[in-house]
Structure 1
Amino acid sequence: MKKMILKSSLLVLVILLTSCKDKQENKETLGYTINGRIENMKEGMVYLETSGEDNQVIDSAVVTQGEFLLQGKIQEPLMYSIKEKGKSYGTTFILDNDVINIQGKKDSLFYAKVRGTKQDSIYKSYYKNEFSKIQKIAFPLYQLSDSLHKIDALNIHIEKGRLSKKHQVFMDEKWRQLDSLSIKLTSEYVSKHADAIGAALVIDDRFIKYPNPEMAKELYSALTPKVQNSFYGKKVKASLDLFEKISVGAQAPEFSQTDTNGEIVKLSDYKGKYVLIDFWASWCGPCRKENPNVVLAYKKYHAKGFDVLGISLDDKKDRWLKAIKNDNLTWSHVSDLKGWENVVAKLYGVKVVPTNYLIDPDGKIVAKNLREEELQSRLAEIFEN
């Protein structure tokens, strides 16, 4: 009797293990199924596209009576989007070999609800929870900073675009506290989901695109080997390798690009000077807000050996030239007018503007992303002490 019970238990265990294995194999064999429903659309077309730098259509489906079906198979979970024909934006999600349900409305698929993909749910949970907490503090801080700038602008003893020392110290501490909270919550998320590609995506979103190489490296090391070797894990690693090449203390990569008159300007033209390589764009609000501070630094220290080289991520020359004139940016400016595809921006790993690098007379990077009072203080250390 005992032998029969033992035999039965072993049989049940074998069945359970086989079922789990079969389920995983079926998932990999069968691929994905996307069941879609679009309200207010009786007929039409939708397209499944890769989501990234080079969007490519990989499949399409006819919408009939508001419903569509897409089936296929992918090698690993990746970001994709489903768009209506003729629309620039759609709903973006991590596609895996799952049964996925998408429900949205015509002309607003961006807000569609996506269910059934575990990897996507894990990734988006960060923005619903951790990032939401960060935003609730960040938004009022931006409003407070703008208010203080308006107050100090009325004071004739404070230079335009600057905060009083008291207000600057106050805001610096507030930003430091927000940064600490962001690092804490994001680190906790990555630790909890180290085996999900959503963790790699969050590292890229928060510490690669808004560069914090030290945190990105620390959190990358916490990922499981499988996630590190995923498409997004490799992407984070490639960015970390690039950051090493353009870190403080490294030799600044040489480059050349045409200026506003079509003349070639090279970084090596500035050898023997301190030069601020300033990545910006006419359409970038924070860049335009920082420009008066850079103008102030240029006027104060140019005669002492300081220069600025503006590199624009614009793609429209007239807007670029207009912004240079309106902001009184009297130093040299270059651009290939390729927007985010700017060759020099890619060489320096620029993910967001404004971004800047301070290069010393020997061509070495001595500081990165100096803004507001920090830029003035660093230049004062160099030229006044």
Structure 2
Amino acid sequence: MYTKKFQIIALILLIFFSCKNETKDYVFSLSGTLNNPSSEGVVLYQATDLSQKKFEPVDTLQVNPDGTFYETYKLQPHYYNLKVNDSTTIDIIADSLQDIIITPKATDGYDITGSPDTKLFEDYEAFRAKVLQTKVYPLRGQLYQLLRQKKPENAEKIATLGKRVEHAEASYRDTLINAVKPMGTSLAIYPTTLRWNGDKDLEFYKSLATQFAKEHPGLDITKRIQKKVKIMEQVAVGGKVANILAPDSSGTLQPLDKNLGKYTLIDFWGSWCGPCRSEATQLVQVYGQYHDQGFNIFGYAVERDKNRWKSAIEQDQRTWVNVSTLDWYSNPICANYGITALPKNFLVNDDGVIIAKDLHGEALDSKLAELFSN
């Protein structure tokens, strides 16, 4: 009798653990409720290239009349976003075996449960927004207000405030590593690679990418993180820059390698970028002072509007070569140089090897004085 009881108990335990460990026939699922879904369909996008801000559609969800939905996917673990309507997009970091539930908050936005990786990315974005709101935006607003006035007597104020904005924005980018470190090797680190910055943190990011590859072999995300680190190495001091071939404001193609001087400042800027415009006076001064000795500037403008770009060149007296592909950040040039924010510059020798980077204000003056005193 006891033997039969034990057999029954063993059978029950076997069934329980078999059900518990049953393999799902999907990688992850999405379910929940959406407010005001688009009549044209709610679309799931996968991030295919962060540096060029490209997301490709992978599915159109079937949403019930009451806003509820349920979908399963055999897609790779990845960074996705769900476009609910023209004004609402939900970021999702989906890992294997996650059942992700999306529900409306009492106010605006959505709560996402079932994905610890998405929560880590939300925390990163909240940290980033707080630093911008407290450290960068107030100064940036003051600078743009002065620039809009277009008063010559504000030149000194603009230059001083521009340096403060540059310092605040550089500090902001350097601070973001403190939000990345707690994330470990979560898939959530992938979207943060858009703002990985700085030679001084390169070894940390290289180590993180190596560990990530060990824990997530074969994923598309893994390859993209490794590519990001490779680009960071290429644009570190000592690396050799990629060539640039782009049209100037007259439409003539200008190659970087044919415009290299003894030393050349590759200046990434934009007509819309306050700090970029505020340092134009200094660039004009150092170009005039050192150009005859072999100093050159090669400007690449991150732009959409050709007329605004041409007007800024004229107003700032940027008489050196200036080029732009007029497609914002969505181009191989910005990708090859790791450009995700402005201003950004690289000082290279006549072989295109980077000898310094992110030189602004007194740092640029000092470096050029040192180079041309020898």
For this structure pair, what is the TM-score category when the shorter chain's length is used for normalisation?
A: 0.7 to 0.9
Matched, 1:37 2:57: no
Q: Which residue of 2 aligns with 1:347?
A: 336
Shift in CA distance, 182/262, structure 1 to aligned 2, threshold 3 Å = closer
Q: Deviations over 1:132-184 (max 9, x none)?
A: 775576359957997xx99xxxxx9x9665449xxx89x97x99987776544
Distance 1:91 1:330 in 2: 44
How far 1:287 sits from its partner (Å)?
A: 2.3
Query: Partners of 1:47 and 1:344 in 2: how far apart?
Result: 30
Please state whether the residue corresponding to 2:271 is helix, strand or coil: coil
- Which of residues 38, 41, 47 is equivalent to 2:43? 47
For 1:266, the aligned partner's letter is P
Structure 1 contact 246–252 (Cα < 8 Å) conserved: yes
After superposition, give the CA deviation of every residue in 1:173-206 in whole Å (9 maximum; x if it has no partner). x99987776544532x03xx33x2113443x144
Structure 1 equivalent of residue 205 of structure 2 = 216
Confirm whether residue 380 of structure 1 aligns to residue 369 of structure 2: yes
Deviates further, 63-72 or 308-317? 63-72
Cα distance in 2 for partners of 1:267, 1:44 equals: 45
Asked if 2 retains the 8 angstrom alpha-carbon contact of 1:44 and 1:62, the reply is no
Task: Tell me how far apart the structure 2 counterparts of residues 9 and 377 of structure 1 sit (CA, whole Å).
Answer: 81
Please report how far the alpha carbon of residue 321 of structure 1 lies from its aligned counterpart in structure 2 after TM superposition: 0.5
Percent identical: 24
Indicate the residue corresponding to 1:186 in structure 2. 180
Residue 71 of structure 1 and its aligned partner are, at CA, apart by 1.1
Q: Which stretch shows the higher mean deviation, 132-141 or 340-349?
A: 132-141
In structure 2, what is the equivalent of residue 69 of structure 1?
A: 69
Which secondary structure does the structure 1 equivalent of 2:341 belong to? coil
Figure out how many residues of one structure are paired with residues of the other and give that number: 360
Find the counterpart in structure 2 of residue 91 from structure 1.
Answer: 90
TM-score, structure 1 length as denominator?
0.75
State the Cα deviation string for residues 216-269 of structure 1 (Å, max 9, x = none): 223324436123643333212112222333332233333322211222322232
**What is the CA deviation profile of residues 85-124 of structure 1, one whole-angstrom value per residue up to 9, with x for unaligned ones?**
5x1652222235543333349xx98x33323333212322
Conserved? CA contact 2:199–2:237, under 8 Å = no
* Alpha-carbon shift at residue 276 of structure 1 (Å): 0.8
Residues 279/176 of structure 1: CA separation in 2 closer, same or farther (3 Å cut):
closer
- For residues 118 and 347 of structure 1, do their structure 2 counterparts lie closer, same or farther at Cα, with a shift above 3 Å needed? closer
Kindly tell me: are residues 67 and 290 of structure 1, through their superposed partners in 2, closer, same or farther at Cα, counting changes over 3 Å? Answer: same
- How far did 1:382 drift? 0.8
1:332 maps to amino acid: V
Q: Which moved more, 1:275-284 or 1:11-20?
A: 11-20
Separation in 1, partners of 2:16, 2:219: 29
Give the aligned partner of residue 153 of structure 1: none
CA distance in 2, matches of 1:177, 1:93: 28
Deviates more, 1:48-57 or 1:303-312: 48-57
Answer whether contact 1:276 1:308 (CA < 8 A) is retained: yes
Task: Give the alignment of 1:33-182 within 5 angstroms.
Answer: 33-38=30-35, 45-52=41-48, 53-61=53-61, 63-85=63-85, 87=86, 89-96=88-95, 98-104=98-104, 111-128=109-126, 131=128, 134=131, 138-139=135-136, 142=139, 161-163=158-160, 182=176
Contact 2:270-2:302 at 8 Å conserved across structures: yes
Task: Tell me the SS of whatever aligns to 2:310.
Answer: helix
| Cα distance in 1 for residues equivalent to 2:27 and 2:331 | 41
Amino acid of the structure 2 residue aligned with 1:48: L
1:277 CA drift (Å): 0.9
Query: Over the residues paired in the alignment, what is the CA RMSD in angstroms?
Result: 4.3
- Report the CA distance shift for 1:244/1:348 in structure 2 as closer, same or farther (over 3 A): same
Larger deviation: 136-145 or 372-381? Answer: 136-145
| CA distance in 2: counterparts of 1:58 and 1:180, whole angstroms | 34
Partner residue, 1:247: 236
CA distance in 2, matches of 1:221, 1:30: 24
One-letter amino acid matched to 1:198:
A
User: 2:319 matched to 1:330?
Assistant: yes
State the Cα distance separating 1:304 from its structure 2 match: 2.5
In structure 2, the residue matched to 1:293 is 282
List gaps (5 residues or longer) in structure 2. Answer: 148-152
- Distance, in Å, in 1 between the alignment partners of 2:194 and 2:13 is 43
CA drift of 1:207 comes to 1.4
Shift of the alpha carbon at 1:42?
11
Unaligned runs of 5+ in 1: 151-155
Query: How far did residue 5 of structure 1 move?
Result: 11
Contact 1:280 1:287 (C-alpha < 8 Å) held by counterparts: yes
Q: RCO higher in 1 or 2 (8 Å CA, sep ≥ 6)?
A: 2
Which amino acid is 2:26 matched to?
Answer: T
Q: Using the alignment, how far apart are the partners of 1:312 and 1:114 within structure 2?
A: 39
| Contact 2:28-2:72 within 8 A present in 1 as well | yes
Paired amino acid for 1:186:
V
CA distance in 1 between counterparts of 2:80 and 2:13 reads 38
Deviation at 1:358, TM superposition (A): 1.0
Please give the alpha-carbon distance, in whole angstroms, between the structure 2 residues aligned to 1:243 and 1:81: 26
* Partners of 1:175 and 1:346 in 2: CA distance: 20
